[in-house]
Amino acid sequence: MCAAPAPGHRAAIHRVLGIETSCDETAAAVVDGGTTIVSSVVSSQIDLHARYGGVVPELAGRAHVELLTPVLADALEQAGSDHTGRGIDGIAVTHGPGLIGSLLVGVAEAKALSMAWGVPLVGVNHLESHLFASLLEQPDLGWPLVVLLVSGGHTLLIEVTAPGEYRLMGGTIDDAAGEAFDKVARFLGLGYPGGPAIDALAPQGDPTAFSFPRSMPGDGYDFSFSGLKTSVVNRVRKEPGAQTADVAASFQEAVVDVLVTRARRAAADVGARALCLAGGVAANSLLRTRVSQACADDGIGAFLPSRALCTDNAAMVAAAGHWRLTRGDRSHLDLGADANLRLVSTV
Amino acid sequence: MRLLAVETATALVGAAVMGDDGAVAERSHLGGRAHAELLAPAIEEACASAGCALGDIDALAADVGPGLFTGLRVGVATAKALGQALGLDVLGVSSLDVLAAGAREEAGAARSARVLAVVDARRGEVFAAAYDFSTPGSGDDPDPADVCDDRAEALTPEELAAWSDDLAAAGPVLVVGDGAVRYRELLAPRPGLDLGLADRVAAPSPAVLARLAARRLAAGVAPAAPADVVPDYRRHADAAINWEERVPVRTAPSTAP
Ligand SMILES: [Zn+2]
């Protein structure tokens, strides 16, 4: 394609603009050298989707179109750049997995900027970018790592032996962990998003009040949260007087117990030097505490990205993009979006 | 003036560049739903064909619909980002106006004195507008004064047929657009409706969009700042969430600790 910038057009990749629109956050960020966040702007659509108890794809796509111009302007200005892209050496954009109508908005924007500014473009896997969120705060993480990626859309255990070298160890066979939080919070009348609501209420309740099931399907590293959600619903129907805080605390205890048990075993089985959290559910207070404890007990590192880097953001996209652009990866102008893009090793 | 026009409202995806001499270079594809993959290369190729770089462009136009939601988002997001990056405002143009202008170009003034432009809205509905160029002083362009009726929401084919009968009662109507093609069997037999150009003017054309936008800009129509350009959806968002199973809401929440 004639659009590929001439080799050596801008020899070194220092500053990368990241663009993220895979779900309900419209985000843009500039990262220098792959690890220094120069600017990071995230415009959340939570209020827009709250009354539906979840992300409405068509509403999300429409909101991205309205938000992309101001979010980009803010990210460039805070980075000391401007609309001409001064100082930007490359553009990275999430092209999957996620909501197709949302992904396409960011991909279209990124390609237009790449054409107009004459800088290279690379499409980034959203899951890979979550893994790079950790490197933004701790560039010298040792390998191998086991990453527990937990969000509203994903529950994955991934072995990382080096940047770009991934092995999927396990995933959920039904609901994602964040989805279970949303559904139970909705049932309990706690609103959306469910994770922060339950996290906030649980300390007021007794986590041993109810013994909810810890489902761990198979002998491997898979998860299942659908039965837990059903169990909560059935139990509360049988006991209408149950205190919501006790239910929330007991439910959270069960989810965290399952996540930590499986992640800990995965880390031990591959001889990981550290266990790393990623994704929106990684902001959960109890999960962070339990992972820290477990890793201390097992004598391995625990890496818990700051809450801002757990949830969707564009700094992690720029960081992943910096790594890809530096190793020579380029996307062409015919880049599309793939709602089901898989995480594959580059080696 | 060098104007770049971006067209993604229907299954036709493309771009056109009008040079200083008024000549238009167009690249377009019948892309189905691959708007994102096809648009950016079409822009590059249209620029190359017109012998200019994107940096030489000094006016932008985009079809803002009504049409396919995903296509519109790709086109509008692209136009907004180009406008932002190049420091240019964007002229949003209705897909129905582009169809009517295309009908004028193809049919000549007499046959296209009255035009019904119909865009396939999918899900068994259409978006449509009717134009009357026969009034004295009306130019060749579908300007707001020529739009005798622009239905603000999606119509069923039956509503469209009843409306077109009313229009035809006042004289012949040239019906164009992919909505006319889809519902040809319903519309073609009706007296006074001319569907003879429906296939040739099935989709809004990037070149027609470029010419129409250039005339509007020359006439003093102001383009909008990139932040203010939005698609004309004409339909509320489908607020369905694909939970595998809806979780009931607890009827008597007990929130006291
Ligand atoms: Zn995410």
In a domain, A332, yes or no: no
Q: Which residue of A has its CA nearest to B41?
A: A333
Residues 258-287, chain A, touching B (beta carbon < 8 A): none
Question: How far is Cα A60 from Cα A141, in angstroms, rounded to an integer?
Answer: 35
Instruction: Identify whether residues A172 and A206 lie together within a single domain.
Output: yes
Helix (H) / strand (E) containing A66: helix A57-78
- CB neighbour burial string for A226-249, b if at least 16 within 10 angstroms, e if fewer: bebbebbbebbeeeeebbbbbbbb
Chain A interface, best mutation among B78, B86, B245, by max A CB count within 10 A: B78
Residues 48-87, chain A, touching B (beta carbon < 8 A): 52-56, 58-59, 61-62, 64-66, 68-70, 72-73, 83-85
In a domain, B83, yes or no: yes
Q: Is A196 on the interface with B (CB under 8 A)?
A: no
Report whether B224 contacts B23 (CB < 8 A). no
Facing residue for B36 by CB, picked from A1, A54, A336 = A336
- Total structural domains in chain A? 2
Report whether B205 contacts B98 (CB < 8 A). yes
Instruction: Identify whether residues A88 and A215 lie together within a single domain.
Output: no
What lies within 8 Å, CB to CB, of A234 at 6+ separation is: none
Question: How far is Cα A254 from Cα A259, in angstroms, rounded to an integer?
Answer: 9
Instruction: Identify whether residues A199 and A303 lie together within a single domain.
Output: yes
- The CATH number given to whatever domain includes residue B104 is 3.30.420.40
Instruction: Identify whether residues A175 and A291 lie together within a single domain.
Output: yes
Largest CA distance in chain A: 69
Instruction: Identify whether residues A103 and A248 lie together within a single domain.
Output: no
Instruction: Identify whether residues A215 and A249 lie together within a single domain.
Output: yes
Q: Which residues pair with A93 in a beta bridge?
A: A19, A123
Which range marks the domain in which residue B24 is found? 3-94+204-235
Cα A311 to middle of ligand 1, angstroms: 6
- The CATH number given to whatever domain includes residue A74 is 3.30.420.40
Q: pLDDT tens digits for chain A (347 residues)?
A: 334 444 444 459 999 999 999 999 999 999 999 999 999 999 988 888 887 878 889 999 999 999 999 999 999 999 999 999 999 999 999 999 999 999 999 999 999 999 999 999 999 999 999 999 988 888 777 889 999 999 988 999 999 998 889 999 999 999 999 999 999 999 999 988 899 999 999 999 999 999 999 998 888 999 999 999 999 999 999 999 999 999 999 999 999 999 999 999 999 999 999 999 999 999 999 999 999 999 999 999 999 999 999 999 999 999 999 999 999 999 999 999 999 999 888 76
Instruction: Identify whether residues A109 and A187 lie together within a single domain.
Output: no
Q: Is B246 on the interface with A (CB under 8 A)?
A: no
Question: How far is Cα B74 from Cα B89, in angstroms, rounded to an integer?
Answer: 17
* pLDDT class of B148 with cuts at 50, 70, 90: confident
Last residue of a domain, one of B170, B194, B218: B194
- Please report residues of A whose CB lies closer than 8 A to that of B31: none
In a domain, B50, yes or no: yes
Which range marks the domain in which residue A200 is found? 142-309
* Overall pTM > 0.80: yes
In a domain, B257, yes or no: no
Cα A310 to middle of ligand 1, angstroms: 8
Instruction: Identify whether residues A319 and A295 lie together within a single domain.
Output: no
Instruction: Identify whether residues A81 and A146 lie together within a single domain.
Output: no
Instruction: Identify whether residues B182 and B225 lie together within a single domain.
Output: no
Instruction: Identify whether residues B89 and B102 lie together within a single domain.
Output: no
- Total structural domains in chain B? 2
Residues 70-89, chain B, touching A (beta carbon < 8 A): 70, 73-82, 84-87
Distance from CA of A42 to the nearest CA of B (A): 17
In a domain, A331, yes or no: no
